[in-house]
């Protein structure tokens, strides 16, 4: 059972990290940047993914290195398929097929969420991972997207 202090710390850290993730989605969407700044901003997700994922791969339990390798492959695969799905959706939107683009993004998200849930379930069953820590990635992404979409819609009116 998780102690109350640990639960409060996790909830506090979630709240503290939620704001910096949601605010850029809301504010930066309304700003226009030069081509150089746009190019720089487009590289940030790749840099952040590398900075966050790869140190974790190399600092896993040395008795079980496969955990880090599988986790890294899942993270890179998830990010790759997200990037491919968004790129294909943007291409469809450029061709005035916005409905198909939205459907592609939605189906890509659903498929990636299902794959992540299966992998996280297997990790939980293996006994090497804390179940509560495994659930957080599944719960955290959708609220950030929902808040961004809410502010985007309210700003369009």
How far, in Å, CA of 102 to CA of 88, rounded?
10
In the chain, domain spans: 4-156
CA angle 134, 137, 141 (to 5 degrees): 165
Torsion of CA 85, 14, 144, 77, to 10 degrees: 0
pLDDT score, position 136: 67
**What would the mean pLDDT of 35-47 be, rounded to a whole number?**
80
Say if residue 157's pLDDT is above 70: no
Segment 101-116, tens digit of pLDDT: 788 888 888 888 888 7
Q: Give percent above pLDDT 90 in the chain.
A: 0
pLDDT score, position 142: 64
**What would the mean pLDDT of 132-154 be, rounded to a whole number?**
65
């Amino acid at each position: 059972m998780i102690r109350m202090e640990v639960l409060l710390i996790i909830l506090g850290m979630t709240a503290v990290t939620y704001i910096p993730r949601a605010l850029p989605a809301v504010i930066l969407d309304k700003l226009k940047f030069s081509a150089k700044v746009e190019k720089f901003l487009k590289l940030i997700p790749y840099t952040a993914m590398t900075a966050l994922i790869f140190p974790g791969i190399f600092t896993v339990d040395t008795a079980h290195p496969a955990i880090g390798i599988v986790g890294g492959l899942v993270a890179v695969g998830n990010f790759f398929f997200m990037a491919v799905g968004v790129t294909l959706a943007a291409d469809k939107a450029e061709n005035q097929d916005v409905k198909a683009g939205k459907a592609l993004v939605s189906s890509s998200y659903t498929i990636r969420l299902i794959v992540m849930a299966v992998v996280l379930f297997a990790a939980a069953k293996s006994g090497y991972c804390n179940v509560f820590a495994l659930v957080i990635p599944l719960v955290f992404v959708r609220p950030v997207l929902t808040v961004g979409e809410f502010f985007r819609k309210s700003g369009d009116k």
